[in-house]
Amino acid sequence: MHRQIAGSLTGRVTKWVVLVFVLVLTGFMAFFSSKLTSVQDNQASSWLPGSAESTKVLDELSQSVDPNDIPTLVVYHRDGGLTDDDLATMEADGPEIAALDGVTDQGVLTPAAAEAAAAQGAPVPTLVSEDGEVAYLYFVLNFGADGWNAIPDAAAEIRDISTLDGGEVHLAGYGGQAADSAAAFEGIDTNLILATLGVVIVILLFTYRSPILWLLPILCAVSANFIATGLVYLLAKYAGLTVNGQSQAILSILVIGAGTDYALLLVARYREELRRHEDRHEAMAFALHRAAPAILASAATVAIGMLCLSFAELNSTAGLGPVLAIGVAVTMLVMVTLLPALLVICGRWVFWPKRPSFRSAEPTADGLWARAGRSISHRPRRVWMTTAGLLLLACLGLFRLDTSGLSTEDTYTKEFDSIKGQRLLTDHGLSDNSNTVQVVADTEQAADVASSLAGIDGLGEPGEVQPLADGRSWFEATINADISSSTAADIVEASRDAAHGVDGADALVGGGSAFYLDTKIASERDSLVIMPLVLVVVLLILIGLLRAILAPVILMATVVLSFGAALGISALLFEYVFGFAGSDPGFPLFAFVFLVALGIDYNIFLMTRVREETLTHGTRKGSLIALASTGGVITSAGVVLAATFLVLGSLPLVFLAELGVAVALGVMLDTLIVRSVLVTALNLDLGGKIWWPSTLDSSDAPLTPAEAEAPLETVH
């Protein structure tokens, strides 16, 4: 029955129907795919749940403080001191900037305006440093909810206005950081995809050694990416799905990487069946019948694992779950419809120059992985114990993993303009007055709350208390530290401790640094909730697929061990090779979900084949056949996925660079060590017991030396 269904998709007529339908759908969705960047929401404030204290502050201030306000600084610097002409240039720049679209009626605060305000006794920030080398203009941008998309053009206009002959001018504050963040994701919908496809093409050319065959998986991966990103756009536009630059980058990488993996598995099985069946349509029917369950189980594991992210408190993480689940589901459907149709339409010639002719010998029967399996079979227990011990040793590197967060300067892999401006302000004793704590409290106790914050190290004097509705008031105070640094987080925590200590004030502390702190708190909570959930979900899928309990439990243990080893080695690389200052609080969760969901794929590919061969040859012999048959294709799939995730490092963001390295390293550990050595050795040692409580291999006969060395024959 399943073979009939598989054959119906690639029949002599239906193959053309499938081809036309998928291509038309691809063209239709490509129109929406190109718009995905326009619906991104990259504002940190939109990522947090309503329960976060900083979100509650934002809600209370919404009637008095526009949440779309973007405080921005233009920083001027000259070694040896700014001249009178420099200060005059600043004064002239101020009105020009104030006249730009998007600058609010709060206007631009210039040195002259600050001096006039000071003469009247009004509290104003210090705009010129004591050494006279640095000064800045302060202004506020507001482009409504579309601020992220408008910032790059506004930044370009401000930079055109703000020049200093022989000196430096930098854009800092929220506006500068937003402009640099936009620049970091620039070209994400084209450059990143082209780079990923380039890497995959090179690997496929090396794998297939065919000038033609590589094109079919690439065409299918591109089709899947257009359909998936188009669908995500529609959901973001009309169903409120949260999409940011980070999730769009990972979506394209995952679609291309996973899609190529599924293609490698299907093409390898199709090539096997072409040696057994003269008619290519019949060969594809058998190939789909035998490969589709593994592909479906793999896609279901990844998709459901990603959907577990929906239980995250962080909206950015929760939104990533359905985005990636959609990508994987679409990719799987394209690879079991469009790719088989293209393969049977093209015929055997597409494998040129090594066409798999009918009744030709199967080359994997005595290949590298067949020889590796025979070597493991001599001492399987010693092999798996030694391998597990080495992986446990690698896990010790986890003690060097610092997930306390990154400062703005440490967030990027290159030095952006806002970072240079921020450093000048810090080095010359000027506060970035765009970074504040915002405190809301009951009006009667607001003055007491303000007094309680006095003397907190790194916090400026509280400003004037201003009334809100419903008996509430608010004020703010400048944080003298980088907005996302651990120092700023400590200041926020100290401020909250002091404000919460005022009885009856119902005080809440928010602001930019508070957002980062609450993001870290939410990330830690998400890790504790989602990691166990992913393990349970994946375990249940494996139990259903393999119809056993012991094998899934062992497979999960090997993947978790691989995750720990990958993260341990990665932590050492981050610190001692790349020189990163630390990791984002959400990094362990993302790495865990990807490595468990993707790492289990290779075990699925292997163990479904082991189960298939066990029916004829028994577990131990079946394990050797499965390793020989799938070893090459799984290794190629692992290399493809690792390479695609490494492409994330082309974006100048430490988080994505670290994620790419960790996932790539973990995938290679899974393909080369866990799946090929550790799992195979466990299969050979335990034999039929691996299927407990099933009696799939009740004879459980150990392999004799002669049987282990005998030629391998796969099932027909």
Higher pLDDT among residues 607 and 434, named by residue:
607
> How far, in Å, CA of 323 to CA of 235, rounded?
9
Instruction: Tell me the average pLDDT of the chain.
Output: 85
pLDDT at 634: 85
Mean pLDDT of 694-710: 69
Contacts 24+ apart (CB under 8 A), 125-130: 125/431, 125/433, 125/478, 126/430, 126/431, 127/430, 128/82, 128/87, 129/428, 129/429, 129/430, 130/428, 130/429
Answer yes or no: is pLDDT of 621 > 70.
yes
Asked: is 68-184 a CATH 3.30.70 domain? The reply is yes
The pLDDT value given to residue 2: 47
Mean pLDDT of the region 374-390: 92
- Say yes or no to pLDDT of 7 above 60: no
Give the C-alpha separation, 436 to 330, whole Å: 44
pLDDT band at 384 (very low <50, low <70, confident <90, very high): very high
Q: Are 377 and 682 in contact (CB under 8 A)?
A: no
Residue ranges per structural domain of the chain: 1-47+188-360, 68-184, 362-406+522-716, 431-517
How many residues does this entry show for the chain? 716
pLDDT band at 584 (very low <50, low <70, confident <90, very high): confident
> 346: pLDDT confidence band, cut at 50, 70 and 90?
confident
Name the percent of the chain lying above pLDDT 70.
91
**pLDDT at position 204, please?**
86
pLDDT at site 188: 65
1-47+188-360 and 362-406+522-716 have identical folds: yes
Q: 210 pLDDT band (50/70/90 cuts)?
A: confident
Say if residues 135 and 127 touch (Cβ distance below 8 Å): yes
Q: Judge whether 220 and 339 are in contact, CB under 8 Å.
A: yes
Whether the per-residue pLDDT at 184 is higher than 80: the answer is no
pLDDT of residue 569 exceeding 50, the answer is: yes
pLDDT of residue 340: 92
Are the beta carbons of 210 and 351 closer than 8 angstroms?
A: yes
pLDDT band, residue 128 (cuts 50/70/90): confident
Q: How confident is the model at residue 716 (pLDDT cuts 50, 70, 90)?
A: very low
pLDDT of residue 713: 56
β-sheet bridge partners, residue 137: 74
Residue 145 pLDDT class (50, 70, 90 cuts): low
Q: CATH 3.30.70: does it fit domain 431-517?
A: yes
- Sequence-distant (6+) residues with CB within 8 A of 399 are 571
Task: Specify the residue for token string 């006794």.
Answer: 121
Class of domain 1-47+188-360: mainly alpha
Over residues 492-496, the mean pLDDT reads 94
Lowest-confidence segment of 39-43, 100-104, 559-563 by average pLDDT: 39-43
The continuous run of DSSP H or E covering 477 comes out as strand 472-478
Confidence check: pLDDT of 22 > 70: yes
Q: Average pLDDT for residues 463-490, to the nearest whole number?
A: 87
> Averaging pLDDT over each range in 38-42, 46-50, 223-227, 282-286, which range is the top one?
223-227
Residue 178 has pLDDT above 80, yes or no: yes
Interhelix angle 654-669/587-617, rounded to 10 degrees, is: 20
CATH architecture of 362-406+522-716: Up-down Bundle (1.20)
In the prediction, which pLDDT does 715 show?
43
Q: Output the CA angle 490-495-498, nearest 5 degrees.
A: 125
SS (H, E, C) 589-639: HHHHHHHHHHHHHHHHHHHHHHHHHHHHHCHHHHHHHHHHHHHHHHHHHHH
The confidence score (pLDDT) of residue 1 equals 42
Find the range with the poorest average confidence among 5-14, 225-234, 465-474: 5-14
What are the residues whose beta carbons fall under 8 Å from the beta carbon of 575, sequence distance 6 or more? Answer: 400, 402
Helix 550-573 and helix 654-669, axial crossing angle in degrees, nearest 10: 130
| Mean pLDDT in residue range 341-355 | 85
pTM, to two decimals? 0.82
State yes or no: pLDDT of 714 exceeds 70. Answer: no
Q: What is the pLDDT of residue 530?
A: 92
pLDDT tens column, 74-126:
999 999 899 989 889 988 898 898 888 888 867 787 877 777 766 766 666 67
Mean predicted confidence (pLDDT) in 359-382: 78
With a cut of 90, say whether residue 679 has pLDDT above it.
Answer: yes
- Amino acid sitting at position 48: L
Q: 649 or 325: whose pLDDT is higher?
A: 325
pLDDT higher than 90, residue 435: no
| H or E stretch covering 170 | strand 168-172
pLDDT tier for residue 223 given thresholds of 50, 70 and 90: very high
Nearest to 682 by CA among 571, 552, 579, 578: 552
